[in-house]
Amino acid sequence: MIMMRNARHAKILELIETKEIETQEELCEELAACNFGVTQATVSRDIRELRLFKVKGTKKRFRYATMSESSGGISDRMRSLFQTCVESIRAVNNLIVIHTLNGNGSNAGVVIDRLEYREIVGTISGDDVVLVICETNADASSVCAKLETLLKY
């Protein structure tokens, strides 16, 4: 069972690296063509386990992508995702409220979680907003400044 899941995960990573796959249904079809009989629910779980997210495609509107960690905390793809989906960042006491494009709150939340800033106690992501909880007001100001810098570069 685990070997089958590992093989399927490897195939998913290979497929999204070589093809622009926009939907779970497309991924199901591609896997079926490779002799992996899966349901949409299985693919949904695989996407979550592999921590895939969507980025802007070249041929299609969006495509699935994976995170490749770099020593600086996040990859260029993740930085680009954050820059694309964030509309505003505002510190309020020890909290930071980040407004995103509709449907992108979780994407921004994943990026923030991957940054692993020591000042962040936790994050809560919604459809178009992320709430970042810091220990102190000063921590929130510091993190807010770092995130704003991330938007620029």
Condensed to tens digits (0 to 9), the pLDDT of residues 84-110 reads 999 999 999 999 999 999 999 998 998
All structural domains of the chain, each given as residue ranges with its CATH number in brackets, are 2-65 (1.10.10.10), 76-152 (3.30.1360.40)
CA angle (5, 11, 14) in 5-degree steps:
145
* Residue ranges in the chain whose pLDDT is less than 50: 69-72
Could you report the per-residue pLDDT of 61-72, keeping only the tens digit for each? 888 887 553 334
pLDDT of residue 68: 52
pLDDT of residue 72: 44
Q: What is the pTM of this model?
A: 0.56
Per the document, the length of the chain is 153
User: Which letter does DSSP use for residue 86 in this model?
Assistant: E
What value does the mean pLDDT of the chain take?
88
